[in-house]
Amino acid sequence: MPRILLRILVCVALASAVPAMSAMAQPLDAAQFSAEGVAAYDKGDLTEAARLFELGARGGNRLASFNYAMMLYRGEIDSDESNAAWRWLRRAAQAGLAQAQYNFGLLYEHGDGVKRDYAVAHEWFGRAAGQGLRDAQMSLATQYFVGQGVPRDYRLAARWYQAAAEAGDPGAQYIIGHMFEEGYGKDKDTRLAAYWYRQAAEQGDPAARIKYETLSAELKAAAGR
């Protein structure tokens, strides 16, 4: 069972995702099965939740496909079908569900149940990042920063770290602050570095607070000369 997927909660993903197709584009029953599956899962009835998610998934609902895959990966249900979790997750990813795209990329980044392939991970991170998924933006940025699966490119790394920072990720806020401070992928800008360190500090990052206070003192000293 892929370790990297264990932190994903089915109910959280269900609450935050957007339906893949309009009611006119898919059977109404599929969306209904998905919604009823959420209710069953929240009540702790995993057998019924799995049954409903599977019905919704087979009816073409991408959210049901994702949650059915997650239940399989989490070991909450079993399937007689070979590679069922991977296939249902892929179906949800191909249908455009950002969380599924990100999780599918994680499988290949970590080699969980598949052969590790950073280029494949990059493709799926890119799709999810383009939809605004913060975690995917972070993973994509890191690939560019270290040159994992793609040539190292600090400017593209900075672009995606900043996107995640603007979405409120404190880790990304710290990193983009550092990139502005050191001139990695960005022109050096102490004021912008201090701004992003402050954003991270306000979310409780103690290292960012130290950085912010240090740069603020430097800016004040420079202004007083």
Query: Can you give the residue ranges of every domain in the chain?
Result: 3-116
Categorize the per-residue pLDDT at 223 as very low, low, confident or very high, splitting at 50, 70 and 90: confident
> Of 101, 35, 92, which is closest to residue 58 (Cα–Cα)?
92
User: What number of other Cβ atoms are within 10 A of residue 30's Cβ?
Assistant: 23
Categorize the per-residue pLDDT at 80 as very low, low, confident or very high, splitting at 50, 70 and 90: confident
Tell me what the mean pLDDT of segment 24-48 comes to: 83
pLDDT higher than 50, residue 9: no
Tell me what the mean pLDDT of segment 94-122 comes to: 97
- Degrees, nearest 5: CA angle 71-139-177: 135
pLDDT at 85: 95
- Degrees, nearest 5: CA angle 216-202-126: 105
Categorize the per-residue pLDDT at 225 as very low, low, confident or very high, splitting at 50, 70 and 90: low
> Do 34 and 68 meet the contact criterion of CB atoms below 8 Å apart?
no
165/188 Cα distance (integer angstroms): 17
Q: In this predicted model, what pLDDT tens digit does every residue of 147-178 receive, in sequence order? A: 999 999 999 999 999 999 999 999 999 999 99
Categorize the per-residue pLDDT at 224 as very low, low, confident or very high, splitting at 50, 70 and 90: confident
pLDDT higher than 50, residue 18: no
* Topology (CATH) of 3-116: 1.25.40
Burial class (CB in 10 A: 0-12, 13-18, 19+), 208: buried
Categorize the per-residue pLDDT at 12 as very low, low, confident or very high, splitting at 50, 70 and 90: very low
pLDDT at 14: 42
Q: Which residues contact 185 (CB under 8 A, 6 or more apart)?
A: 153, 154, 155, 156, 157, 158, 159, 179
Q: Which residues of 69-80 are buried (b: 16+ CB within 10 A; e: fewer)?
A: bbbbbbeebeee
Lowest mean pLDDT among 21-25, 79-83, 214-218: 21-25
Which amino acid is present at 195?
Answer: Y
The mean pLDDT of the chain is: 88
pLDDT higher than 80, residue 55: yes
Tell me the whole-structure pTM to 2 decimals. Answer: 0.85
pLDDT higher than 50, residue 98: yes
Burial class (CB in 10 A: 0-12, 13-18, 19+), 1: exposed
Q: What is the Cα Rg of the chain in Å?
A: 21
> Do 155 and 169 meet the contact criterion of CB atoms below 8 Å apart?
no
